[in-house]
């Protein structure tokens, strides 16, 4: 049989089923999709491929899915550190956004972020930021899968003046890219404290009509929850229940402050939760109760948040931190096993975004979104269990090759669809401009 690509690897971790490891196996790709996963010796007999790649030190995994980020904020990396969330936002980030955010900034910042994510094995990101048209354009140009957030916030920004304009512009972006195979969409109201009831109700209706998720920061800090109770007498999740927003469409990000009732409500309504452990630790926002959520059957995915609050878009570090933090918070070393952490960074993210029929596991029929990771270095030897090595020993420098929909975007750590030197020059130009104005 004919294939476009045959990758023979030391190990393949398909993720579905969780924890499975296939040794000395190969993956065949045709027309951008996975058409076979089989022992390497058998693959040589069954498949004739235009390109054959042998990776005898590597593990193949599904491309990592960054289920929550603000890509363009990579240009604010290190701008304001070691501050509480609201101080960080109101005194530093929001003023910087008002001054700098525009088409050119978002394109440059997103290009920098896409390059970083691809070099770390991430093949899909779920974004929430202004100028989602530029985010979609950059991702499409690079060949990366993206979920562009149709942002909405109550106050004016350089992207839109009011709720009507946010929605009108967002729907226009959706219409412009809706046929693109790599670009997906979610409504992205910013947070309970920045979006009022009427726009949220409109988003709820539109999400049903267009079959889109709703991606939102929720219960990020104790301050957020306390202020909501003080102002309205109800917790943000209770407000969402009243507005009819609790459903499998909701992607609730952070969720560091959850009562037993909150957990029960999320489980009952199929809410998806995105855990951003490194950002939450850096901002001291709190701890998402991963063990309790998993015990309740809630789908938990992982995100980096933006590089302005995390300083990194490294999903391998994120899944390692998530696994370790869950154990410490629960007081249980079994709270988040390595295989579960890898699922959170791949298939669970695809499920949250509603694209698990397309990506998230190395399964026949899905798109060939693949990361190849070299486990042959000193730092990962000896390898008894490649999943353990991935979660507890490896770093993103071990990612050598990445494919999205069967197209190779990273080859031996070289970006193939992006100009690395130009991206570095652009990042330095923006640093100089922003630094000079401080």
Domains defined for the chain, CATH in brackets: 2-62+362-405 (2.30.40.10), 64-353 (3.20.20.140)
Q: What is the mean pLDDT of residues 14-35?
A: 98
Pick from 115, 107, 74, 145: nearest CA to 415? 115
pTM above 0.85, yes or no: yes
What is the pLDDT at residue 84?
84
Pick from 349, 414, 391: nearest CA to 123? 349
Q: What is the pLDDT of residues 34-84, one digit of tens each?
A: 999 999 999 989 999 999 999 999 999 999 999 999 999 999 999 989 888
pLDDT at 106 over 90: yes
CA distance 114 to 203: 28
Name the token pair of 30: 């045709």
Listed in sequence order, the residues at least 6 apart from 279 whose beta carbon sits closer than 8 Å to its beta carbon are 285, 304, 305, 306, 309, 310
pLDDT at 241 over 90: yes
The H or E element that residue 186 is part of is: strand 183-189
Q: Which residues of 86-113 are buried (b: 16+ CB within 10 A; e: fewer)?
A: eebbeebbeebbeebbeeebbbbbbbbb
146 band by pLDDT with thresholds 50, 70 and 90: very high
Q: What is the mean pLDDT of residues 412-436?
A: 97
For residue 168, give the 3-state DSSP assignment.
Answer: helix
CA distance 255 to 221: 8
Q: What is the pLDDT of residues 340-354, one digit of tens each?
A: 999 999 999 999 999
318 band by pLDDT with thresholds 50, 70 and 90: very high
More confident call, 89 vs 57: 57
Contact call for residues 317 and 395 (beta carbons, < 8 A):
yes
Listed in sequence order, the residues at least 6 apart from 163 whose beta carbon sits closer than 8 Å to its beta carbon are 152, 154, 198, 199, 202
What is the pLDDT at residue 217?
98
pLDDT at 305 over 90: yes
437 band by pLDDT with thresholds 50, 70 and 90: confident
What is the pLDDT at residue 88?
86
Q: Which residues of 346-360 are buried (b: 16+ CB within 10 A; e: fewer)?
A: bbbbbbbbbbbebbb
Q: What is the pLDDT of residues 362-412, one digit of tens each?
A: 999 999 999 999 999 999 999 999 999 999 999 999 999 999 999 999 999
More confident call, 91 vs 70: 70
438 band by pLDDT with thresholds 50, 70 and 90: confident
pLDDT at 85 over 90: no
Q: What is the pLDDT of residues 171-185, one digit of tens each?
A: 999 999 999 999 999
Q: What is the pLDDT of residues 276-297, one digit of tens each?
A: 999 999 999 999 999 999 999 9
Share of residues in the chain with pLDDT > 70 (%): 100
Q: What DSSP string runs through 83-148?
A: --HHHHIIIIIHHHHHHH-SHHHHHHHHHHHHHHHHHTTEEEEEE--S-HHHHHHHHHHHT-EEEE
pLDDT at 123 over 90: yes
94 band by pLDDT with thresholds 50, 70 and 90: confident
What is the pLDDT at residue 41?
96
86 band by pLDDT with thresholds 50, 70 and 90: confident
CA distance 83 to 77: 14
pLDDT at 31 over 90: yes
What is the pLDDT at residue 122?
99
pLDDT at 414 over 90: yes
For 239, other C-beta atoms within 10 Å of its C-beta total: 16
pLDDT at 1 over 90: yes
pLDDT at 32 over 90: yes
CA distance 148 to 133: 8
Mean pLDDT of the chain: 97
Q: What is the mean pLDDT of residues 94-117?
A: 95
């Amino acid at each position: 049989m004919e294939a476009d690509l045959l990758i023979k690897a030391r190990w393949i971790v398909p993720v579905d089923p969780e924890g499975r490891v296939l040794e000395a196996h190969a993956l065949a790709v045709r027309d951008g999709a996975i058409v076979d996963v089989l022992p390497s010796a058998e693959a040589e007999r069954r498949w004739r491929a235009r390109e054959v790649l042998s990776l005898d030190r590597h593990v193949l995994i599904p491309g990592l899915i960054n289920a929550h980020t603000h890509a363009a904020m990579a240009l604010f990396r290190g701008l304001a550190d070691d501050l509480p969330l609201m101080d960080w936002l109101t005194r530093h980030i929001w003023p910087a956004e008002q001054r700098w955010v525009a088409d050119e900034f978002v394109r440059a910042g997103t290009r920098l972020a896409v390059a970083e994510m691809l070099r770390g094995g991430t093949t899909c990101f779920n974004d929430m930021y202004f100028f989602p048209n530029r985010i979609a354009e950059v991702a499409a140009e690079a060949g990366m899968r993206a979920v562009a957030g149709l942002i909405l916030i109550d106050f004016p920004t350089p992207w839109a003046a009011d709720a009507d304009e946010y929605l009108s512009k967002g729907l226009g972006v959706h219409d412009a890219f809706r046929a693109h195979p790599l670009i997906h969409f979610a409504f992205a109201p910013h947070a309970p404290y920045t979006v009022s009831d009427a726009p949220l109700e409109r988003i709820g209706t539109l999400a049903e009509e267009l079959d889109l998720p709703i991606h939102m920061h929720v219960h990020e800090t104790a301050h957020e929850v306390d202020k909501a109770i003080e102002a309205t007498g109800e917790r943000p999740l209770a407000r969402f229940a009243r507005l009819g927003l609790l459903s499998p469409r909701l992607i609730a990000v952070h969720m560091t402050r959850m009562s037993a009732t909150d957990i029960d409500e999320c489980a009952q309504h199929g809410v998806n939760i995105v855990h951003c452990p490194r950002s939450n630790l850096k901002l001291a926002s709190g701890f998402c109760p991963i063990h309790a959520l998993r015990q309740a059957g809630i789908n938990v995915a992982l995100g980096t948040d933006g590089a302005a609050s995390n300083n990194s878009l490294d999903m391998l570090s994120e899944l390692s931190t998530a696994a370790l933090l869950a154990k410490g918070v629960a007081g249980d070393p079994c709270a988040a096993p390595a295989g579960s952490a890898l699922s959170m960074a791949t298939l669970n993210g695809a499920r949250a975004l509603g694209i698990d029929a397309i990506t998230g596991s190395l399964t026949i029929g899905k798109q060939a979104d693949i990361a190849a990771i070299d486990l042959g270095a000193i730092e990962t030897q000896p390898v008894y269990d490649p999943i353990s090595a991935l979660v507890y020993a490896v770093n993103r420098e071990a990612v050598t090759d990445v494919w999205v929909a069967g197209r190779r975007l990273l080859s031996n750590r070289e970006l193939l669809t992006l100009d690395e030197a130009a991206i570095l020059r652009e990042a330095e130009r923006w640093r100089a401009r922003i630094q000079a104005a401080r």
